[in-house]
Every structure is written in structure tokens, then in C-alpha cells.
């Protein structure tokens, strides 16, 4: 028993903006997150290299 309200103002063809929005949002969110992770990774690695240089220059504990 399927009863649904199909409004004539919502013809299938007029829904393409929603289709685009859904896929666009998906890409933005997924790649946005990956980009965020990669950037933090990059920044941390730079920091590690920098600190490693400092470490090499400091003498060992007495």
C-alpha cells in the first residue's frame, strides 16, 4: 500500500539541483576531511624535522 503525494510542481526533471547538491556535498565533505588530515600530517612532519635538528644540536643528558 503505497500512497504518496506527488506534486505537479515537483516533476522529476526539476529535481536535478538536488542531485547535484547531494554529490557535491559528498565530495566536499569527504575530500575536505582527507585534505584536513593530510595538512595536519604535513605540518606535524615539518615540526618533527625541525625539532629533530634541535635535538641533534643539544648534548645528551649528563
Partner 1 sequence: MANTQSMERSDSLGGFPSIKTILALITGVMMLVDLYFIFMVAPTDSVLGHVQRVFYFHVPIAIVSFLAFFVVFIASLGYLMKRTSKWDAIAHASAEIGVVFVTLALLTGIIWARPVWNTWWTWEPRLTTTMILWLIYVAYLMVRSYAPTRSKGAIYAAVVGIIGFIDVPIVYYSVVWWRSIHPSPVVGPFAQADALDGTMALVLLFSLITFLFFFAYMVAERMELRNTEEALGRIRFTLRRRGR
Q: Which residues of 22-52 are buried (b: 16+ CB within 10 A; e: fewer)?
A: eeeeeeeeeeeeeeeeeeeeeeeeeeeeeee
> For residues 46 and 48, what is the distance between their CA atoms, to the nearest angstrom?
5
Binding mask 1-40 for partner 1 (x = CB under 8 A): -xxxxxx--xxxx-xx-xx-xxx-xx--xx--xx--xx-x
Q: How far is the CB of 19 from partner 1 (least distance, A)?
A: 5
Q: How far is the CB of 62 from partner 1 (least distance, A)?
A: 10
- What is the contact surface with partner 1 in residues (CB under 8 A)? 2-7, 10-13, 15-16, 18-19, 21-23, 25-26, 29-30, 33-34, 37-38, 40-41, 44-45, 47-49, 51-52, 54-56, 58-61
Amino acid at each position: 500500500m503505497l500512497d504518496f503525494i506527488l506534486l505537479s510542481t515537483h516533476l522529476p526533471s526539476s529535481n536535478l539541483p538536488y542531485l547535484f547538491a547531494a554529490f557535491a556535498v559528498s565530495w566536499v565533505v569527504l575530500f575536505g576531511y582527507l585534505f584536513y588530515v593530510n595538512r595536519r600530517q604535513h605540518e606535524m612532519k615539518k615540526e618533527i624535522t625541525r625539532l629533530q635538528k634541535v635535538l641533534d644540536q643539544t648534548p645528551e643528558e649528563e
